[in-house]
Homo-oligomer: A and B are copies of this chain.
Amino acid sequence: MSVTIKDVARRAGVSPSTVSRVISKHPRISKETAERVTRVMEELGYHPNSMAKGLVSKATYILGVILPRPAEELFQNYFFHEVLRGILAQANRSGYDLLIASGSSESDELETVKRLVRGRRVDGIILLSSKTKDPLIHFLNEVGFPFVIIGRSPDFPDAPTVDNDNVQAAYDATRHLINQGHERIGFVSGPQELTVSQDRLTGYRQAMLEAGLSISEDWIVEGEFLQETGYRAMSMLMNLPERPTALVVIDDIVAFGVLHGLNELGYSVPQDMCLVGFNNISLSEHTSPPLTSVDIGTYQIGYMTAQTLIKTISKEPLHQTRKIIPHRLIVRGSSVK
């Protein structure tokens, strides 16, 4: 069997209590004892049993990450992988492990969260996307369990969140196209219930309005965060009598689909259509032409989210419950003629 604290104690000639104190670096322990115990622990390859430790200290040092529900689909979105990297990096740095979970349906997802929370399987929870009327947020808020949302929650404005200023980001993207002389600009959006879709659409509308440009509702297409969405949108958009000359696209992945769709229809970018995407994923500089994209600091979002959650868990005061990660427009060939 495994080495326990008793084995270490016996071998070091001290009590289990003392070994425990050495592990937790209790101040009132003599240097000699500490050293001897430490040596024995290494000799025996001792590691504290995480469950016994967790049972008494009521902490698991595990952060739970809930993948967005239609996980099978959305997990294809490279945003999540980058965000996960950021979360993992910060979690590890602070001595936390990551547990990832998902649900196959909305109720299944809620069940999973309840199990994680009530079963004390994790110390806190990260929600990777935010939408309106989310029962998970409702539950977490009600039971007062530590959690952080990536995005924002219109229904629970006090919940800790890490987000971009998506209204401004889309405004900037649209403004960039207006500056290039475009007047007919469309918007390819994501699922309507997601706040990120709502906010970017708002920013787009604002920029257009402010520039005195009118929007045809035909220019606004809604879909999933998949290439398919962009691909299909093109056969529709390009058939319009008055089609747009530029598009703001909610996600680089979708923009790849747009690029492919245009290509197949015989149009070229940026001559026939200019494009701006979001997320600036690593592939974006390797398309032809390279894709102009709003870098939203995805890794940093993950990093900051983990940091915020860990602070919440340790009951450190948050300077601000709603953190905003800065964005930056990266101009490449797809948007300048």
Contact = CB atoms under 8 A, between A and B. Distances in A.
A226 B285 CA distance: 12
Contacts of A48: 119
Interface in A39-71: 45-52, 54-55, 60, 62, 67, 71
Contact of A88 (B46, B102, B119, B259): B102
Which bracket fits the contact residues of A?
A: 35 or more
B114 A286 contact: no
A3 interface: yes
A287 B54 CA distance: 49
A263 B333 CA distance: 13
A263 B14 CA distance: 71
Given A51-B55, A76-B282, A97 B121 contact: yes
A46 B118 contact: yes
Contacts of A89: 72
Nearest to A62: B99
Interface in A14-60: 45-52, 54-55, 60
B121 A50 contact: yes
A209 interface: no
Contacts of A75: 81, 84-85
Interface in A91-138: 92, 97-102, 104, 114-115, 117-121
Contact of A3 (B92, B115, B118, B253): B118
Given A2-B118, A45-B118, A256-B286, A71 B51 contact: no
A31 to B, nearest CB: 24
A88 B76 contact: no
Contacts of A80: 81
Given A81-B75, A101-B92, A283 B50 contact: no
A52 B52 CA distance: 7
A278 interface: no
A227 to B, nearest CB: 5
Interface of A: 2-3, 45-52, 54-55, 60, 62, 67, 71-72, 75-76, 78, 80-81, 84-85, 88-89, 92, 97-102, 104, 114-115, 117-121, 226-227, 231, 253, 256-257, 259-260, 263, 282-283, 286-288
7 contacts: A51-B120, A67-B88, A76-B282, A97-B121, A227-B286, A260-B288, A288-B288
Given A75-B84, A92-B102, 14 more contacts: A47-B119, A49-B120, A50-B119, A50-B120, A51-B51, A51-B54, A71-B88, A92-B101, A97-B121, A98-B99, A100-B100, A256-B286, A259-B288, A283-B283
